[in-house]
Chain A
Amino acid sequence: MNCDEIVSGLILEFRRGTLIMVVLAQLNKPMYGYSLVKELEGKGISIEGNTLYPLLRRLESQGLLKSEWETGAAKPRKYYIITEDGKLVYKKIKEHWKKFSQSINVLMEEEIDDKK
């Protein structure tokens, strides 16, 4: 059994599942792709650009985000912001996440108690 490989695969699955929630949480204010990468990095969540940029576009096509090109500055940038539908989806998954993580935490603590 290759333990490291299995663990990195599982971590990848965790990240994939929670990434949308993380992105929606950050886009209450308009941000462009690279600034979002940096913002998340600063908060301890590293995300690769080649995962984030396609994800932003996919969330936009699902109507959870909207975008606008800012051409006034020296460099044209595409800014993303959460939509009303996005806020609704975020609210629901946040509630679900809280309940789910609480249950998982209880489960883990039970396991620790059993070992004692």
Chain B
Amino acid sequence: MIKNDLIDRYIYAVTKHMKSAMKKDVAAELETIIQDMLEERCEDVTPTERDIKVVLTELGTPNELASKYKGETQDCLIGQPYYSLYVYVLKIVTVCISGGMLLAQIMAALTSHTIWYIAIYRTIGGIFGGILTGFAFVTLLFAFFYKKGIKVDGLNDGIDSLPPVPQKTNRISKANAIVGIAFSVTFTLVFLVCPQILCIAFVKNGASVYEPLFNLEYIRQTWYFILAFGILGVARESVRLIDGSYTKRVMLVTIITNLIDGALTIIWLLNDKIMNPNFFEGIEQLFGENTEVISQVFIQFNKVFLAIIIFALGINCIETVIKALKYSRK
């Protein structure tokens, strides 16, 4: 059996979007077919890289072959190679929107004292509307890409530009990237739709009072910062999801997005307007007058929050750079 990186990459590209049971079987069958074709072409001579390319070209591009295995035709709204990526993106968008909207609606309902059945109705309506919007947006986008034949990252199809087969050590798990996207979407939705949910509840003059942690007016005025954080987070995690391993592109995107993210976070958090002054009154009401330490922590909350974010961005950057450089050398 001839072992060759190009053959491995070709088989990986054909089977990467297949279900796991089918993937294994098709990969094994393709392997023997390619070996048979090479043996016939080269007989007793060891095949060269060119022989392998000729044989693989004869089999067709990975996406062509993959779509034939799936029995797809081209008379459709979104065909291969876009369809696999479309389904993939749609799943992520649906999960993110459902999770984010559910959380946002529950929190909004809890803090706005809405009657329970109206809250449920709004939650279901919000999730359904969100999913429908996401579905329409992604579908239209991919239908446009397909009709116009626009090149999208992750759709390399030539024999010469096959992506490498990710090794276990340098692989970025899909779950991690999806959790990252879900976190970014949730953060954006919570801060844009219902920033009041981050609050403290206490009783004042016999009535329940909800005092938000942040200055809601400032949060509303700086909506573009929140949107930028969301977009940067989704962009960073999407590249990780598409590449699936610590590539140089992942490294570059992580450095750029984290730098912008860090700079924007400093501007956004490091000022006197971000915190709600009434929140500290709530802390005193809740914990009593002797809770100086707790009050101090909350007074400095924006700085503590900033330090945590900068630390997390820094660690993420260093880890990505080290892994990308280490594996690219191999």
A residues engaging B (CB < 8 A)? 32-34, 48-51, 53-54, 57-58, 69, 75-78
Q: Which of B24-32, B159-167, B279-287 lies at the binding interface?
A: B24-32
B64 near A33 with CB under 8 A, answer: no
B33 touches A34 (CB 8 A): yes
Contact present for A75 and B1 (CB under 8 Å): yes
Query: Do the beta carbons of B29 and A78 come within 8 Å of each other?
Result: yes
Is B68 within 8 A of A33, CB to CB? Answer: no
The reply to whether A54 and B68 contact each other, CB–CB distance below 8 Å, is yes
Q: Which A residues are in CB contact (< 8 Å) with B68? A: 50-51, 54
A7 to B58, CA, bound (A): 23
A58 to B65, CA, bound (A): 13
* Interface residues, chain B, with chain A CB atoms under 8 Å away: 1, 25-26, 28-30, 32-33, 35-37, 58-60, 64-65, 68-69, 71
The reply to whether A33 and B71 contact each other, CB–CB distance below 8 Å, is no
A4 to B303: give the CA distance in the assembly, Å.
73
Question: Which residue of A34, A54, A69, A76 is within 8 Å of B65 (Cβ)?
Answer: A54
Q: Which residues of A contact B33 (CB under 8 A)?
A: 33-34, 49, 53
B59, A76: Cβ atoms under 8 Å?
no
Nearest to B60 among chain A residues (CB) is A50
* CB atoms of B36 and A34 under 8 A apart: yes
Q: Which A residues are in CB contact (< 8 Å) with B64?
A: 50
Q: Is B37 touching A49 in the complex (CB atoms < 8 A)?
A: yes
Q: Which listed residue (A48, A50, A54) contacts B71, Cβ 8 A?
A: A54
Q: Is the CB of A78 within 8 A of B65?
A: no
| Contact status A33-B37, CB under 8 Å | no
Minimum C-beta distance from B105 to chain A (A):
42
Q: How far is the CA of A77 from the CA of B64 in the complex (A)?
A: 23
Give the distance to chain A from B297, nearest Cβ to Cβ, in Å: 62
How far is A75 from B29 in the complex, measured between Cα atoms in Å? 11
* Given A33-B29, A78-B25, 19 more pairs with CB closer than 8 A: A34-B37, A48-B60, A49-B37, A49-B58, A49-B59, A50-B58, A50-B60, A50-B65, A53-B30, A53-B33, A53-B69, A57-B26, A69-B28, A75-B1, A75-B35, A75-B36, A76-B28, A78-B28, A78-B29
Hey, which chain B residues are within 8 Å of A69, CB to CB?
A: 28
* Assembly CA distance A48 to B19 (angstroms): 25
Q: Which residues of B contact A76 (CB under 8 A)?
A: 28, 32
Nearest neighbor of B25 in chain A, beta-carbon distance? A78
Write out the residue numbers on chain A whose beta carbons fall within 8 Å of the beta carbon of B25: 78
CA distance in complex: A53, B70 (Å): 11
The residues of B that contact A32 with a CB separation of less than 8 Å are 32
B69 with A57: CB separation less than 8 A: yes
Are B71's CB and A58's CB within 8 A?
yes
Q: Which residues of A contact B37 (CB under 8 A)?
A: 34, 49
27 pairs from A and B in contact (CB 8 Å cutoff)? A32-B32, A34-B32, A34-B33, A34-B36, A48-B58, A49-B33, A50-B58, A50-B60, A50-B64, A50-B68, A51-B68, A53-B29, A53-B33, A53-B69, A54-B65, A54-B68, A54-B69, A57-B26, A58-B71, A69-B28, A75-B1, A75-B35, A75-B36, A76-B32, A78-B28, A78-B29, A78-B32
